[in-house]
Homo-oligomer: A and B are copies of this chain.
């Protein structure tokens, strides 16, 4: 069947049929707006991201199910980076008319399986026709007690800088995709990232984190946001960057370039007071996630990068800017 036969409202009904009810959703898909019941004593965390064909994704690189998962994951990652639990989300999708219905079915199956895994309910959105490529917009909502919300702005000189998992994988995976590789660890890290929801919530509830962000634009750029918002500087020891074996094999000539400036790892980058590293490692171990201390927050501004041989390191580029020249 084609989308034109099903129609806009047929498509909405088809999506709605696969969404489970949730006690916090008084009114879900199918009215002018959804009605949500906030949990008393908690604040609402809300974030929104657009994903555009030709900019954020290439349909020849991935199947619809994986794209559906990733479109939600990148938003859940932002909720996790606040230390919040995902609760609800909205999906806006602009579809080229020639896209087969099977594409949309696969996309929704991926998105809804990821939603179920992380406790988020689809409550509304928008479907329309696109005269250009596929455009996706997701708005995700989470909740947390106000005193536990983790901002970018609380880092203090002397804090240790930590990152979960490994970095650079997604950027190395993108390089492989452009070279024609379609599977493997790095490719999967690029196409199907895991939002660190359990770790984000555990870190928030332990009360040990002073500032947190997710690695979407690259370690340097995202650490730069923490530094700017906290009014501090940072010293990074490149020898301590957590790099996967696949990354080491596939990253190219400069071992650190993609790990520092490549985006889309969706790991959590955060700061803790010195002495808390064992507690944090134990916390992350509980959710099966390695964590590494990669440097220290410093007074003043600016970032200092130290290579394994002790020399000063200058990265070839800092991170991704949507309106930049490259």
Residue numbers of A with Cβ under 8 A of B are 3-4, 6-9, 11, 26-27, 30-38, 40, 43-50, 52, 54-56, 78-79, 81-82, 84, 88, 90, 92-95, 97, 123-133, 135, 137, 139-142, 146, 149, 151-153, 212-214, 229, 321-325
| Contact among B37, B81, B126, B323 for A8, CB-based, below 8 A | B323
Contact of A131 (CB < 8 Å), options: B26, B38, B52? B52
Please name all residues of chain B whose beta carbon is closer than 8 Å to the beta carbon of A90 when the two chains form the complex.
Answer: 46-48, 139
Please state if B33 and A47 are interface contacts (CB–CB under 8 Å): yes
Bound: A6/B324 CA distance, A? 9
Contact of A129 among B30, B55, B137 (CB under 8 A): B55
Report yes or no: A146 in contact with B37, Cβ–Cβ below 8 A: yes
CB contacts (< 8 Å) of A43 on chain B: these are: 26, 35-38
Chain B residues whose C-beta falls within 8 Å of the C-beta of A152 in the assembled complex: 30-32
Given the complex, which residues of B lie within 8 Å of A46, measured CB to CB?
33-34, 36, 88, 90, 123-124, 139, 141
CB <8 Å contact, B92 and A321: no
Question: How many copies of this chain sit in the oligomeric assembly?
Answer: 2
Check if A35 sits within 8 Å of B128, measured CB to CB: no
Q: Which residues of B contact A50 (CB under 8 A)?
A: 92-94, 126, 128, 135, 137
Q: Is B78 a contact partner of A321 (Cβ separation < 8 A)? A: no
